[in-house]
Structure 1
C-alpha cells in the first residue's frame, strides 16, 4: 500500500506543479510582469515547489535526513541529468547573466551550506546542525537573490520589455488552477515523505539514501519535464536559467525555511554529497563558458555523472 501511495504522491506533485506553474504564469501575464521575472521566479520556483513542500513537511515531522537529502539530491539531479538530457536533445544556449552571476551565486549558496553545516570541524561542537540562525542566514541570502531578480525585471521594463497577454484566459480560472496546484503539491508532498520513510525502514535503507534518491528524483521531475519541453520547443536558452534558479531556491529558501521551523541534524555522509554538488556546479560553469552553451557531448558527460553518482550512493548505503 505504501508503494501505491508513494506513486499517488508523486503524481499529485507533478500534476500540481504543472497546474501551479501554468496558473501562476498566466496570472503574471495578466499583471503584465516582464517575461524574465516569470522565468526566474514563477517557473523556477514553481517547479521547485515539490522540493519545498517535501523538505518543510519532513522538517516538521523530524525527518532531517529526508529534508536535507532531498535538497542536495535534487540539486545534483538538476545539474547532471536534467541539464544533461536537455542539452543532448538540443544544445543549451547560456545567457551571459547566467554565466557571470547566477551560476556563481549557486556556487556561493552551496559553499555557504558546506560552511554552516560544518559545526564539528569549524567550531568544535559535538554534532553538526543547521540551526535556526543558519536558516535565517540562508533566507537573507535568498532576499539578496530576489533583489537581484527584481532589478533585472525593472531594467527589462525600462528597456521596453513587457509580458505577453495570455490568450483566452481569466483571473478566476487561473486563480483556481494555482490554488488547486498548490493543494495537490502539499498533499502529494505529505504522501511522499510519509510513505518513502516507511518503505526505507521496511527495506533497511537509511533515510539519507531515500532522501538523496527516491524523494530527490520524484520532486525534481517537474524540472525535468519543464526543461525537456523547453528543449523540444527550441527554447532551451531558458531551461538552464530555470534549473539554476531552482537550485538557488532549494538551498536558500527550502533549507532556510526548513531549518527555521526545526533545526536539521546533519548526517556525516551528506558532506561528501555537498562536495560533489559543489564540484558539479563548477563543472557546469566551465561547460557554460565554452562558446556560451552546453553542447550535446557535455550533456552526455553530465548525464553519465548522475548514473555514476547514483551507483555510488546506493553502494555506500
Structure 2
C-alpha cells in the first residue's frame, strides 16, 4: 500500500515537472516563431497532452474495441471542459480572447455536432473518418496561417511571416522543442504510472472494475491536460491553458476519432447510450462555454465552481445508473430542476452584459 502511494506521488511530481517544462518551452517557442500562445496551446500543447487518448484510441480501433475509442474521446472532452476549465478558473479567473469565441469554441461545438450527425446510423466508416481528419487538417492550417499573418501585420512587415523564424536562431528553437518533448515525456509517463497504480489501489480497496473504468481510466488519460493547464494558469500563460483544453477537444473528435474511423477494419461503432446521453452532455458542455466566455471575456471563479459541480454530477449519475442505485431517480429529478435554473441564470448574465456594453 505504501509503495503504491509513493509511486502515485512520484507520478504526480513527474506530471508537474513535465507541465512546467512544456509550458515554458511552448511560451518561448510562440514568441520565437511569431505564433500566439493561444495557437501554440491549440496545436502543439493540445496534441502532446492528448497523446494518451490518441494511443488508447488507436489501439482500440485496431483491435475492434469501438466502445473504448468513443468512450475515451467523449469522456475526455467532457472532463476537459467541465473539470479542467473549472479547476483553472477556480485557481485564477481565465481571460478569454475574441478568437476563442468567434472561431475555436464554435468549431469545438461544430465538431461535436458533425460527429453526432455522422454517427446517427451507429457507425463511423472510413469515408466519414477521412472527412473528420480532413476537417482537422484544414482547421490547424487555417489557425496557424491566421496567427502568422496577424503577427506580421502587427510587426509592420510586408514580407513573408516566416521572417520571425529566421530571426530566431535554429539552435534556440530546437532547445524549446526539446523542452516541449521532455515535458511531454514526463507528463505522459506520469499519467501512465498514476493510472496503473490508481487501478491497483482501487482493486486492493475493493472498488469495482466498473467504477475504475468510469473514473480512473477516463480521467487518467486527461491528466497531462490537467497538469499543463493548471500550471499554465498559475504561470500567467492563460491562453495556453484555455487553448490546450479547446484544442484537445477538437483533436479528440476530428483527429483521434477521424483517424480511428479511417484505420479500423470495420469502422467505429457508436453505442446508442452514447448518442442518447454522453454525446449530448459533451455538446451541452461545449455550448455552455459561449455565454460564459461572452460575459466580460473571462471565466470567473463561480463559473469555474459551476463547471466542477456539473462534472461531479455527471460522474455521479453514470455510476448510479450503471449500478441501478435506488437514489438514481432522485438525482435525475434534482438535475431536471438544476439545469434549467443554470440556463436561466446564464441567459440573464448575458443579457445584462449586452446591455452594459
TM-score (norm 1): 0.78
Aligned ranges 1:220-239 → 2 under 5 Å: 220-239=222-241
Change in CA separation of 1:228 and 1:115 when aligned onto 2, cut-off 3 Å: same
Bigger mean CA deviation after superposition, 189-198 or 234-243: 189-198
Kept in 2: contact 1:142–1:253 (CA 8 A): yes
- Between the aligned partners of 2:150 and 2:46, the Cα distance in structure 1 is 18
Within-5 A mapping of 1:28-177: 35-119=37-121, 128-160=122-154
Superposition deviation, residue 148 in structure 1? 2.1
Change (3 A) 1:164 1:225: farther
Cα offsets for 1:233-284 (capped at 9, x unmatched): 2333442232111111111001111121212222222221000011111111
| Count of residues in correspondence between the two structures | 302
Q: Contact 2:27 / 2:37 at 8 angstroms: preserved in 1?
A: no
User: Using the alignment, how far apart are the partners of 1:118 and 1:196 within structure 2?
Assistant: 35
Higher alpha-carbon Rg: 2
Q: CA deviation at 1:96?
A: 0.9
Equivalent residue number for residue 276 of structure 1? 281
Deviations 1:125-160 (A, max 9, x none): xxx222112211111211221132123223223224
Unaligned runs of 5+ in 1: 120-127
Which digits, 9 at most, give the CA deviation of each residue in 1:73-112, with x for residues without a partner? 1111111111111111211111111111111111100011
* Alpha-carbon distance in structure 1 between the residues aligned to 2:259 and 2:173: 30
1:223 Cα deviation after fit: 1.5
Q: Which residue of structure 1 lines up, in the alignment, with residue 333 of structure 2?
A: none
How many angstroms apart in 2 are the aligned matches of 1:11 and 1:67? 28
Unaligned stretches of 5+ residues in structure 2: 156-163, 323-357
Of stretches 229-238 and 178-187 in structure 1, the one that deviates more from structure 2 is 178-187
Normalised by the length of structure 2, the TM-score is: 0.70
* 8 A Cα contact 1:88 1:296, kept in partner: yes
Which whole-Å CA distance do the structure 1 matches of 2:42 and 2:309 have between them? 27
Per-residue deviation, residues 162-212 of structure 1 (Å, max 9, x unmatched): 589999x75666666666667778888988999999999x97645xx7665
Larger relative CO (CA 8 A, sep 6+): 1 or 2? 1
| Worse-superposed segment, 236-245 or 95-104 | 236-245
8 Å Cα contact 2:40/2:243 also seen in 1: no
